[in-house]
Amino acid sequence: MSLPPEVQYLHSQILNHLKLFFAPKVTHLFDSHLVRFLPYNDAITIKEKIIAIPYDIPISSVPVEPYKVDFSGTKLTLWNRIDRPHNLGWTAIPNELTPLWYRHKEGTLIPGWNLFGNLYKLLTFGEEAESIQRDSHGRFVAAYSQRKECGLLEVPAFNEATAVLAAGCLGLQEKGEPFLNLKDAVKAPVISLSHDCDVLYGNDFWTQAVRAFRVIEPLRRLRFPKLSNIRWIAKNAVIPRRFYFDNVTGMIDLERSFGFTSTFYLLNGTAGRFGARNGLKPIPELCKVIPLHWGKGIHYNYDTFLNSDLFASQYAELQSVINIRIISGRAHYLRFDPDKSFSFLSQFGIRVDESSGFSDFIGYRNGIAGCFQVFDRSASKTIEMWEVPMTIMDSTIVRQYGRDALKVYSAMMHHLSRIGGAMTVLFHPGAFYNPEFPEMIGIYHNILMESRRLRARSLTAAEMINQIKDSVSA
């Protein structure tokens, strides 16, 4: 009997994830008949040494009773726990209060939480589909997320579930019961770096206007004006590239020193408050600075959102100065619609998108530290598009955690080093080294140092997907 397309989809995404972050033996075990997706009633009555994943348990609109479980030197955070099967012979592992597995005396394992429902909802933007809340830019932001209310946005739920399945497969094959440790089966974590080149000259009208406003704004509150902004106005009027375009070479040199690479998303097209402040002018020179085999992609302009004519114009203009075919992109202001944008973008040859993320909060927008194929819910099919959600944005982590930003980053990366995954980091050129924003100085360097300490592999979004595709064709 063939499985529903939704089940086939999730099975494929788990398999892709295993190929990228786990030893080949794990992928082989998962792809064998050791793991099966079944209706709940079949899962609890089958009597075989397999992992049975129920796929028809209803999913709550709000995460229910999150709980933590010790696993492989870290802690997992699960929610939507399911009850132990009422049939005789089932026991909970490690215990009834925090079940990772339910195990039958004949050897059958089922997850202790709604693994299928949770992961399918996350990858298909189910939370956004259930909400009508949008901000002034039309975005579903972290402030509207039920997971934020429950403290779950920084939980890579997909990675945790996949790690549990990997350990379950290994344990079932070797001992007849699941391991609670991955040992040497998980690969080093990935660091995936990218840069949105929104502002490359510091003398554009809007940047200077904001500085001018900062000078006089305190007067409204009967305070002294912030005269330091006059200095930045003058400096960038004389040397427009300073702290912006010039920072690109600084970031590249730093990344090279660590053996890392990155992707640069280039913004051109219509200018304006939310548009390309510097237009096409600096991009040809910028492309000469970016190393040949590093990533380059399109930063979809604000006004190209679901507008075929404007998008085609921006794409053609950018393609004319880039010496590679553009297949990667991210939306300016992260403005996209998960029901419409992916099919829209695919018409123009975009195959890798990094628009899914939050501007107001760091965390795993789709519960995954890595990449996944996009599923069209209305047509119940996978489309030819990969999403690589953005987890950390420069100013956001500093605004959210202040002096503890690096400590938080270190904890998140350590967690991925235990369960497998990719940390995606967006850093704007203007935030790399800019005395106008002293709180940002040194942050990027420290992030790269911490990533190297954990022996992270450097892969761009497109390289991650290519590795998965290469493993299929091998």
CATH at residue 262: 3.20.20.370
Cβ neighbours of residue 223 under 8 Å, at least 6 residues apart?
A: none
The answer to whether residue 87 scores a pLDDT higher than 90 is no
Average pLDDT, the chain: 94
Residues 153 and 287 in one domain: no
User: For 169-223, how does the pLDDT look when each residue is reduced to its tens digit (9 = 90+)?
Assistant: 999 999 999 999 998 999 999 999 999 999 999 888 888 888 888 888 877 777 7
Instruction: Specify whether 313 is located in the same domain as 434.
Output: yes
How many domains does the chain contain in total? 3
User: If pLDDT is split at 50, 70 and 90, which confidence band does 473 have?
Assistant: low
Question: Percentage of residues in the chain with pLDDT exceeding 90?
Answer: 84
Is residue 95 assigned to a domain? yes
Alpha-carbon span 185 to 2, nearest angstrom: 31
In the numeric block, which tokens belong to residue 200? 């490359």
Separation of alpha carbons 144 and 428, rounded Å: 25
Question: Is-contact 269 275, C-beta < 8 A?
Answer: yes
User: Cα–Cα distance between 69 and 78 in angstroms, integer?
Assistant: 8
* Cβ neighbours around 223 below 10 Å, total: 9
- Is 138 part of any domain? yes
pLDDT at 82 (0 to 100)? 96
User: Domain limits at 35?
Assistant: 5-174
Domain membership flag for residue 180: no
The residue among 358, 359, 328 whose CA lies nearest residue 345 is 328
Q: Is there a domain that residue 33 lies in?
A: yes
Residues 300, 305, 311: CA angle, nearest 5 degrees: 60
Number of H helices and number of E strands within the chain?
18, 17
Lowest-pLDDT range, 155-164, 297-306, 375-384? 375-384
- 34 & 107 share domain: yes
What single-letter amino acid sits at 95? Answer: N
pTM of the model: 0.95
**Mean pLDDT along residues 306-325:** 94
Give the residue from 149, 195, 154 showing the smallest Cα distance to 421. Answer: 154
Residue-level pLDDT at 285: 95
Query: Which contiguous run of DSSP H or E holds residue 22?
Result: none
Residue 182 falls inside a structural domain: no
Residues 135 and 232 in one domain: no
Cα distances (Å, whole numbers) of residue 447 to 403, 411, 423, 424, 425: 13, 12, 11, 11, 9
* 456 and 333 belong to one structural domain: yes
Do 230 and 261 sit in the same domain of this protein? Answer: no
CB distance 372 to 19 below 8 Å: no
Whether 184 maps to a domain, the answer reads no
Residues 25 and 42 in one domain: yes
Whether pLDDT at 115 is above 60:
yes
Residues facing residue 262 across a β-bridge: 193
Q: Is residue 422 part of a domain?
A: yes
Q: With 60 as the cut, is the pLDDT of residue 474 above it? A: no
Do 368 and 386 lie in a common domain? Answer: yes
196 and 222 belong to one structural domain: no
Query: How many residues in the chain?
Result: 474
